[in-house]
Amino acid sequence: MLSAAMQKSKPFISLENVLIRLREKVLFKDLNWEILANQHWAVIGPNGSGKSALLKALAGTLPVAKGNITHHFLGNENRNSAQDQIAFVAFGTGRRGLSGEVFYQERWNVGLNEDAPSVSDLLSAQGIRHTNRFVIAKARQDAGFPARRRKVIRQLGLKSLLERKLFQLSNGERRKLGIARALLQNPRLLILDNPFEGLDESFRARLARNLKSLMRSKMRIIIAGTNRDLIPSGITNVLRIKNDGTISQGFLQEMGVFGIGNRGKLPTSMRANSRSGKESRILVQMKNVSVSYNKIPVLRGINWTVRENEKWALLGPNGAGKTTLLSLIIGDNPQAYANDITIFGKRRGSGESIWDIKQKIGWVAPELQIYYPTGASCIDVVCSGWFDSIGLYKKCNSRQRKIALAWIKSFGLSLRARKPFEEISEGEQRLALLARALVKSPRLLVLDEPCQGLDVKNRDRVLKAIDSIEKHHKASLIFVTHRKDEIPKSITNVFRL
């Protein structure tokens, strides 16, 4: 019955003999795809398969090299109004895309960016329209905007964030904000690239319910994900892209049901580390640590000790303060000096060098990849790990470069070594950042959602490398995740915010 109804529906978007080229790489050739007006699609494929490029082409932000894409819902008189009718949310650009900031450490220096927009500013009618204050033009009236704004804020639970500055938001909170801004545009077509990544379990469920509700409206939805991502109820069709670039498409029931994998159980309580014992040296010690921004508490009374050879999972919902806690350890947050924090045996504020601390720590975070200078190659990114810089400003010696190339090879990135970092897929970027963290054999490895956005194959590759650290490198580990299938087997302890 479903297929008969689909056949009677009018076309919504048509792709005819489309070829998409991303620089020198051909991603799709002679692609034919018809989206009907009563369909909602999921685009599923591994990292690097071209999902994001295809979505950009649908949104009109990436021109096709051949063929035609027709947005039937625009009408002949509105062919140039796609930007007003299509909302495209891609999280690879993350914080830079929202606020234009380019320095990671800037987010921790309160007072340096007092004029930065707040969440409330970006969710205002002016913020959504991208109004240029230097252009005198008659604003388009939208009588329904205030009510729609109140509804979106309530649905996504954003009320407590309204007065926060952009640079104070966690990775998951910025993702929520990106989705909210898209919904406030009231688009005819909503395109979401990996919408569930970086979100805690509770908000993933809430977002899935909200999307299901939206699918009953006039809005059409297309989402992209890997082969381990949740497909929300309401999706009717699937376009599957395989490793070799071949494409298959059909109804959801015909293509199989996709869900979140379960590689391991999410620990619920702290477990003792039998190998560390009382003699193990303390690497990190926090006593009654508290952090606030603009009188808003982020952390309160934190007591935590990380010892040599311990493997910790740091857990908690979006906005609980996990990333802030990590920033105190890796040396980026100046509020460490106002607290009782000891790193590698030295009390913060006792004259220790931040760079001495960083030299002993390897760090990966999903937002790190947006800060690298345009044109930096994959090998440059990995080599920058020797100097703890975001960008390579010193020349590696032959030994350092040899080790960097060995890590690149171990993650299957040899053919990407000299390619610009921004040209490889998001999953490949994450693997390169993990190699960057490992080149100097750090005593402490801090991994903030290192598997975010990775497909099953790349996730398993990353987790296998992390588990091997226990055998070969003896580094301590702090691992942040929201997902059960990302917990490394080597985890021994849990700290929950």
pLDDT digits (tens, 9 = 90+) for 136-178: 444 456 788 999 999 999 989 899 889 888 777 887 888 889 9
Q: How confident is the model at residue 475 (pLDDT cuts 50, 70, 90)?
A: confident
Q: Which of 117, 119, 182 is nearest to 148 (CA)?
A: 182
33-56: average pLDDT: 91
Confidence class of residue 27 from pLDDT cuts 50, 70 and 90? confident
Percent of residues, the chain, with pLDDT higher than 70: 84
Who's near 235: CB < 8 A, 6+ residues apart? 40, 41, 42, 215, 221, 223, 252
Contact in structure between 496 and 484 (CB atoms under 8 Å) = no
Distance from CA of residue 161 to its chain's centroid? 19
How does pLDDT run across 188-205, given as a tens digit for each residue? 999 999 888 888 888 888
- The burial class, CB within 10 Å (0-12 / 13-18 / 19+), for 364 is buried
Higher pLDDT, residue 9 or 395: 395
Predicted confidence (pLDDT) at residue 67 exceeds the cutoff of 90: yes
Query: How sure is the predictor about 76, in pLDDT bands with cuts at 50, 70 and 90?
Result: low
What is the CATH T-level fold of the domain 2-255, as seen in this structure? Rossmann fold (3.40.50)
Q: What is the mean pLDDT of residues 44-68?
A: 90
Mean pLDDT (the chain) is 82
User: Residues 375, 23: contact at Cβ < 8 Å?
Assistant: no
Q: Render pLDDT for 287-329 as a digit per residue (tens, 0 to 9).
A: 999 998 777 888 999 999 999 989 999 999 988 999 899 999 9
**Closest Cα to residue 37, out of 11, 71, 15?**
11
- Here the tokens at position 148 are 């729609």
The strand pair at 282-293 and 296-307 is best described as antiparallel
pLDDT of 89-124, one tens digit each?
987 544 444 544 444 555 666 555 566 788 999 999
Total count of residues recorded for the chain: 497
74 compared with 58, residue with greater pLDDT:
58
What per-residue confidence (pLDDT) applies to 81?
60
How does pLDDT run across 227-262, given as a tens digit for each residue? 777 788 899 999 999 877 788 888 887 666 444 333
Query: How large is the average pLDDT for residues 10-26?
Result: 89
- Label residue 77 by pLDDT band (50, 70, 90): low
The reported pLDDT for the residue numbered 196 is 87
* Reported pTM: 0.82
Task: Give 86's strand partners.
Answer: 189
What confidence category does residue 478 fall into, taking pLDDT thresholds of 50, 70 and 90?
very high
Domain boundaries, the chain: 2-255, 282-496
More confident position, 322 or 4 = 322
Q: Which amino acid is at 8?
A: K
Please tell me the predicted confidence (pLDDT) of residue 113.
57
Residue-by-residue DSSP string for 136-160: --PPPP-TTHHHHHHHHHHHHT-GG
Residue 279 confidence (pLDDT)? 59
The CATH topology of domain 282-496 is Rossmann fold (3.40.50)
Residue 60, burial from CB neighbour count under 10 angstroms (0-12, 13-18, 19+): middle
Q: What is the pLDDT of residues 336-385, one digit of tens each?
A: 999 999 999 999 988 878 888 889 999 998 778 777 877 889 999 999 99
Q: Give dist(CA 402, CA 397) in Å, integer.
A: 9
What pLDDT, on a 0 to 100 scale, did the predictor assign at position 135? 41
The residue with tokens 């720590």 is: 361
Q: Which residues contact 465 (CB under 8 A, 6 or more apart)?
A: 410, 411, 434, 438
